[in-house]
Structure 1
Amino acid sequence: MNIKTLEDIERLESIEEIILELKTLADSGAIIVVEGRRDVESLRSLGIKGDIRLASQQPLLEFTELLSKSGKEIILLTDWDKKGGIMARKIIYYLLTDGIMPNTDIRSKIRNLVKKRIKDVESLNNYVNKLRYELQDKK
């Protein structure tokens, strides 16, 4: 087994831990905020149930007001490209005006694990499945 394979195994294990954390948070009532429908499909394919909301369906100010009124934990999972970063900063800003700090840890952890490989949530399911498949052949 080479170093690249070991790195991929560690990366996959870390991503799967984050997915499990996301599942647990979603099952406990947290709201996951994504950009588009394909992001939702990708998360559903990874087994994440619960309340996943699209930030792109209405003006961000209205969207964040609804999130604030929910009283639930907010998990921000926008893409890690430029557009996703801008959207994340705006959502954080609007939520902070209501005294709410969304969970951005999961987004940061995933971004750090997949940077230069994928840039969006919609690619996450395919990326994880590809890693699983490639590593299964090498075991």
Structure 2
Amino acid sequence: MIEEYKLLFDALDELKERAKKGWVVIVEGMKDVESLRNLGVEGDIIIFSGFAATADVVGRRNSIILTDYDSKGMDIERGLVRALQSYGVIPDTEIKRKIFCSIKKDISKVEELFSFVSKITNSK
């Protein structure tokens, strides 16, 4: 069971490692922050508050866009990529793809990640 989610766990490890090294993680809401904290993600997690406002907070720091894997989340991602590029920064969107690649049939929201990971790790 766990083996089929190797990509998910590798992506979560990469996320934790980068966050620890100072990368900023951008999410949509407080429940997303709680889910990531419960998964062990440390460092700066910023809640999206508009394209320009969020880009101003992130500035030139390395960032990871981790919005939901739905149409709203994709719209936010596209707008944020443009806003952050105006600072000369290319945000990472690949970790999000890796996380949701193997689980999009089960969940599409960041806030559901912790309970999903708990469920699959406790069922082994």
Normalised-by-shorter TM-score class: over 0.9
Q: Do the aligned residues in 1 keep the contact of 2:8 with 2:100 (CA within 8 Å)?
A: no
How far does residue 60 in structure 1 lie from its aligned partner after superposition? 1.9
Give the match for residue 40 of structure 1: 33
- What is the TM-score normalised by the length of structure 1? 0.84
Question: Residue 92 of structure 2 is aligned with which of 87, 103, 116?
Answer: 103
Give the match for residue 12 of structure 1: 5
How far does residue 133 in structure 1 lie from its aligned partner after superposition? 1.5
Q: Deviations over 1:55-75 (max 9, x none)?
A: 0xx33212212212xx32101
How far does residue 41 in structure 1 lie from its aligned partner after superposition? 0.4
Give the match for residue 82 of structure 1: 71
Question: Residue 60 of structure 1 is aligned with which of 42, 51, 62?
Answer: 51
| Amino acid aligned to 1:96 | Q
Q: Which deviates more from structure 2 when the two are superposed, residues 91-100 or residues 22-31?
A: 91-100
The unaligned stretches of length 5 or more in structure 2 are: none
Q: Secondary structure at the match of 1:33?
A: strand
Question: Residue 27 of structure 1 is aligned with which of 16, 20, 30?
Answer: 20
| Amino acid aligned to 1:126 | S
- Aligned-pair RMSD on alpha carbons? 1.2
The count of corresponding residues between Structure 1 and Structure 2 is 124
Give the match for residue 4 of structure 1: none
How far does residue 9 in structure 1 lie from its aligned partner after superposition? 2.0
Q: Deviations over 1:88-123 (max 9, x none)?
A: 000001111222110111001112111110011000
- Paired with 1:87 and 1:39, the residues of 2 have a C-alpha distance of 15
- What is the TM-score normalised by the length of structure 2? 0.93
- Paired with 2:6 and 2:100, the residues of 1 have a C-alpha distance of 15
